[in-house]
Structure 1
Amino acid sequence: MTNDLNELRTLLFGLEPQKLEKIYERLDNPQITAEDISRLLPEAAQRAEDKELSDAMVPTVENAIHTSIQKDQDVLATAIFPIVGPATRKAAIAAVEEMIQSLDKTLEFGLSPKSLKWRIEALMTGKTFAQIVMLRTLVYQVEQVFLIHKKNGLLLQHVVAPQVPVQDPDLVSAMLTAIQDFVKDSFNTHKEDTLHSLYYGELTIWIEEGPQAVLAGIIRGNAPRELRLVFQDAIEKIHQKLNRELIVFEGDTEPFANSKPFLQNCLTSQYKNQNAKKSPYAIILLSTIGLSIVIWSFFTIRNQLRWNAFIEDLDSQPGIVVIKAETRSGKYFVSGMRDLLAVEPEVLMKKFDFTSKEVMSRWERYASLEPPIVERRAAQLLKAPTTISFQVDENETLYASGSAPRRWILKAQKSWHLIPGVSQYEDKNTIAFELNQLESYKKQIEEKNLLFFEGTTDLLPGEEKNFRELVLVIKKLSGTAEYLGKNLRIQIVGHTDSIGNEETNRILSQARANTILNSLSERGIDTSYFNTIGDSDREPPNMKLPDKEGKYSRRVTFRVFLSDNSR
């Protein structure tokens, strides 16, 4: 009967008896079960539009994490190790980049030859100056990498760089484990503490520890800190890929062959790249900088040489003593002592293409006793004419030479002792202007020829003008001779041609000389220092022109005699 009723229910309601019983049970017990909550909680969390559900779950999650850590912290560390590593590395990379930028600014103004070489390399490679510094100072090579099981210290895998001599890797692994255990046992350390680095000469051993395994790298040289990131990345990826194998490891190392690619990534080295492709822009910039340096150096050296030559020439000038010469802020400064009679420094500045704006000078006055300055001072104090020159010897004797008015010569003989730096004076090579004039007048008179008609004492036409000129020169000669205290005597000589007898010609020549003497007296000339003679035709005329008619022989000439006054 019961089975029939069940079949009838099934036909009427389309439900199986078991499902119907569960419905009755749910109606009899309306309480929410844990099974219901587990089924509805994810859907409720997805559909939650406010923070009430998340706020309510926070204390439970925090308590669960706290309890898990207290129970066994390795469980949680193993779970979050693949996440924490990359996050930490990302933060470290950001810090390193910031450090590089700071280092670049710090070293930007370095001017040593090595820093200049590094800056040129930075321009050619496109890297920052700080990066080049790090590359040049931190050269290294990772020679071997060991993967060691953390709990039992057995070697899981080992890789080595080419051409590196290898010892027994199992022995090395055992030694590293023994050293780490020795440190932990010998010193008061925490359970989670580990040995990170070992140093021996040029070799460094870096150790990176994971939850189940340890990575150890043998490094020769000075490796950068960024290499730690490579090691950390390798140990993280090994745990991600081989975590189960690490946990169940009982001595079989074959599954860990898959860790070789990660270990080989750690076999890095850093060398100077000689064949790096150079940027054309960097080459152009470098060439421009080099050309600028060459041009700047050329002008700097040229200006310095010009300045040195100027100072040397200035210091060699009489009456100038250079005490200090220097350059400051692109300008030149010179100071010292200068005699007022020394050359003007501005004159030398122009000689070396300097201007008064470029060169600042300061001079103290002093009296120089150098010979050139003494000579200039003598000319200034004695007011010497430009025709007089002076010379001072080592005995402080002043020599005067040249021509000057007799009055100045006499005055200089009285005033020379007032000149500083002169102890004696000599002017025997000084000639008075008047003596030169006297000689000039004498020459003019002796070159005069007064011509006469044949057989007479009458002058030829035009000789009157010649005679008037003669009178003026005789007056000048007479006055100058008197001024100089010279005795003057003028001889008038009469001449004839060769026609006629000798006695007649002698008388005629004497008459012609007397005629000129009388004419001079009539013109106001003192004839007391004159005398006349008749020389007839014994002295032929000194003429280059032909004298067939004896025209130039019928003449009067003059002879001038000068002597010192015996008084």
Structure 2
Amino acid sequence: MTDSSTRNTSNKAPDGDRSLGEEEALAELRNLLFTHQPAQNQLDSNEEVLAELRNLLFTHQPVQTPQPPTAFVQPSQKEPTTEEEAIAELRSLLFGADLQARLDNPKVLVEDVSAVLPEAIVLRTMQDEQLSKAAVPTVEQAIHTSVKQDLNILSDALFPVMGPAIRKAVSTALKTLTESLNQTLDRSLSPQSFKWRLEAAQTGKSFAEVVILRTLVYRVEQVFLIHKQTSLVLQYVVAPMVAAQDADLVSAMLRAIQDFVQDSFKVSQEDALDTLEFGELTIWIFQGPQALLAGVIRGNAPQELKSVFQTTIEKIHKEFRRDIISFQGDSTPFEPSKRYLEDCLQFQFQAKEDKPSPILLTLLGVIFCSLGLWGFLSFQERQRWANYLEKLNSQPGIVVVNAEKRHGKYLVSGLRDPLAIDPTLFIQEAKLNPKSVSSRWQPYISLDTKFTTIRAKRLLQPPATVSLKVDDNGVLYIIGSAPHQWIEQAKKQATNFPGITAIQTENLIETERLELQSSKEKIEKQILYFDKGNTQLLATENGKLQAVIQEIKKLATIAPFFHKDVRIQIFGHSDNDGSAENNLRLSQARANTILSALVSQGIKGSNLTAVGVGIREPWHKKSTQNNREINRRVSFKVFLTDAPKGKSKQ
């Protein structure tokens, strides 16, 4: 609108002085603004002008269309321009004060939309299915949210619909059952059936109804939930194939009977009627705080049924207590209580007494005996097969992978360690026919401790002084004594053995170490005896001396393996005859004699020490002839010390 700046709003006439031409012009402008629909993306110059005008009137924003450099620029709100005044005047002329106020009020706009929204939805639904398809996700989400928050809301809403539908389905099924029973009994020629047919013809009832009545033990035909204060029926249910009575009439009758009894026999108001009998019918009445439950029963109902009625009246009071207290004649809130009342519609029929012929009984007996025998033998065979499989699974080194029966034969397959027991040995034990069992086993190495121990013994070949044992964690325990070389070799081989995770040798002693200790003890036990007053060894002691020499040489050979040095002290002793000084010299001489004898046999003198102790360490202190002979001796003390580091083995 490039010429808007030339308008003079001060020359406008009052509304009452408008000419007919002005009114027609305004009407035409309204028509163009509100009814004109330009084609999409194809606006001519006139349409562009109208679009800009609409934008100015409704949004106060100019249309974003390509304009020449002199295009309209939105004026500042703080300093209104003549163009803004002209637009305001035009808006006032077109809409008036009332219409403008409605357009500027969002609340009024919402109310206007809500007034036409239902009709618009109906109209749109009649045109196509787009609105329904668009609403489906929203409705589904709303249902999902409602169910997630409270499942009872949806179930309570569906209950009034599902209850009648289920009852209708049950009624239809019973009707079909009755028709089928009629067709079956029509073919019966028993005397009892003729009697029942005659009764059905006399009473006008169907044959099936007569059969049901004659075989009926009891049946709850109707159940009424009655408001205690007003005696109005809150809800009631009727069993299928039972003629429904007027519920309000029944309620009034019960109230009248109870009032009659209380008035005539001066019964306390707290006492209530609980049972009525009319021929084959019995009415049980169960009292509640605000309501009572009445059940019409045909036949002799068991006493256990009373607990069902009592539980029902308690549930109804618990769930509908507020509705019962506020009851004003509208029974709609008690519609959901039908599901509790229907639990009371129970029945029981007499067991049919058949008297088949002896031939039929015999035939059935033979069949049942045959089936029983076959079943027993089959069960026995299955038990034997199960015992056989259980026995196999309990054996170490045997893994049953598949077991089945095919074409009358049992098939078992799996894995078997070569050291495991032969599975065929258990077939006879399980009392199975060997020809009926086929087995197929694949070899594998079991890590069972028993088999791992056996394989370790075969591989390591321990000496008789060594025992091997593998625990559940795969630790190989080597216990006993063995040569050093075997121990080192066993440690190397066992680490790479399947099923062994570690080796424990705390209780394993090297044989050489035992021999070292044994030689030490043998040397220290030897005592060499001398003649009185000299250093000459008795002739009988030469054998002992040779034994000492052999043990010392043995010590010298074994000790280096354990990084030990051997030191031997030779102690010379004497009796108490003579002076102590002479006895000390004599004892030293005797020790030197033995040292020289040892050196002469190739024993290093550096490892030997001769010490004379005289009479200081007597074998026996009591001076007797025998004791003096014993004290004239030479004894030995062996010391095993750690060899210096770096000293090589000899």
Is the TM-score greater than 0.5? no
Higher relative contact order (CA 8 A, sep 6+): 1
> Which structure would you say has the larger Rg?
1
Query: How does the TM-score come out when normalised to structure 1?
Result: 0.41
